Amino acid sequence: MKRTLLLAGAFTAALLLFFVMTTTAQSTAPLTKRQQALVSIAAYTAKGDLPHLHDALAQGLDAGLSVNEAKEVLVQLYAYCGFPRSLNGINTLMKVLDERKARGIQDPVGREASPIRSTEPRYERGRKTLEQLTGRPEPNPKTGANAFSPELDRFLKEHLFADIFERDVLTYPERELATIAALVSLGGVEPQLQSHLGIGLHVGLTAAQLQQLITLSEAAVGKPQADAARAVLTKVLNPTKK
Considering the domain architecture, whether residues 190 and 104 belong to the same structural domain is answered as yes
Give tens-digit pLDDT for 145-181: 999 999 999 999 999 999 999 999 999 999 999 999 9
Considering the domain architecture, whether residues 36 and 53 belong to the same structural domain is answered as yes
What is the pTM (predicted TM-score) of this model? 0.87
Residue 30 has pLDDT above 80, yes or no: yes
Find out whether 58 and 100 touch, Cβ atoms under 8 Å.
yes
Task: Please indicate, yes or no, if residue 8 is contained in any of the structural domains.
Answer: no
DSSP 140: S
SS3 content of the chain, % helix, strand, coil (to 5): 75, 0, 25
Task: Please indicate, yes or no, if residue 26 is contained in any of the structural domains.
Answer: no
Find out whether 187 and 86 touch, Cβ atoms under 8 Å.
no
- How many C-beta neighbours within 10 Å does residue 167 have? 17
- The 10 Å CB-count burial string (b at 16+, else e) for 193-228 is bbbbbbbbbbbebbbebbbbbbebbbbbbeeebbeb
Across residues 18-41, what is the average pLDDT? 73
Q: Identify the weakest region by mean pLDDT among 8-17, 73-82, 152-161.
A: 8-17
Task: Please indicate, yes or no, if residue 137 is contained in any of the structural domains.
Answer: yes
Task: Please indicate, yes or no, if residue 116 is contained in any of the structural domains.
Answer: no
pLDDT score recorded for residue 145? 93
Task: Please indicate, yes or no, if residue 104 is contained in any of the structural domains.
Answer: yes
Considering the domain architecture, whether residues 180 and 163 belong to the same structural domain is answered as no
pLDDT score recorded for residue 174? 98
- How many C-beta neighbours within 10 Å does residue 47 have? 24
pLDDT score recorded for residue 76? 97
Residues 6+ apart with CB under 8 A from 213: 31, 39, 177, 180, 181, 184
Task: Please indicate, yes or no, if residue 132 is contained in any of the structural domains.
Answer: yes
Across residues 9-21, what is the average pLDDT? 41
Please give the residue that has the higher pLDDT: either 94 or 21.
94
Task: Please indicate, yes or no, if residue 2 is contained in any of the structural domains.
Answer: no
pLDDT score recorded for residue 110? 97
Considering the domain architecture, whether residues 58 and 73 belong to the same structural domain is answered as yes
The confidence band for 141, taking pLDDT boundaries of 50, 70 and 90, is: confident
Considering the domain architecture, whether residues 159 and 184 belong to the same structural domain is answered as no
Considering the domain architecture, whether residues 100 and 43 belong to the same structural domain is answered as yes
Find out whether 97 and 67 touch, Cβ atoms under 8 Å.
yes
Considering the domain architecture, whether residues 220 and 145 belong to the same structural domain is answered as no
What are all long-range contacts of 5-14, with beta carbons under 8 Å and residues at least 24 apart? none
Considering the domain architecture, whether residues 140 and 230 belong to the same structural domain is answered as no
Considering the domain architecture, whether residues 69 and 176 belong to the same structural domain is answered as yes
Q: Identify the weakest region by mean pLDDT among 17-26, 40-49, 89-98.
A: 17-26
pLDDT score recorded for residue 230? 97
Residue 17 has pLDDT above 80, yes or no: no
Task: Please say which residue of 168, 185, 202 terminates a domain.
Answer: 168
Considering the domain architecture, whether residues 148 and 200 belong to the same structural domain is answered as no
Cα–Cα distance measured from residue 16 to residue 170, given in angstroms and rounded to the nearest whole number: 34
pLDDT score recorded for residue 239? 84
Considering the domain architecture, whether residues 86 and 189 belong to the same structural domain is answered as yes
Residue 9 has pLDDT above 70, yes or no: no
CATH code of 223's domain = 1.20.1290.10
Domain total of the chain:
2
Host domain of residue 87: 32-111+172-242
Task: Please indicate, yes or no, if residue 234 is contained in any of the structural domains.
Answer: yes
Residue 112 has pLDDT above 50, yes or no: yes
Question: Average pLDDT over the chain, rounded to whole?
Answer: 90
Considering the domain architecture, whether residues 128 and 220 belong to the same structural domain is answered as no
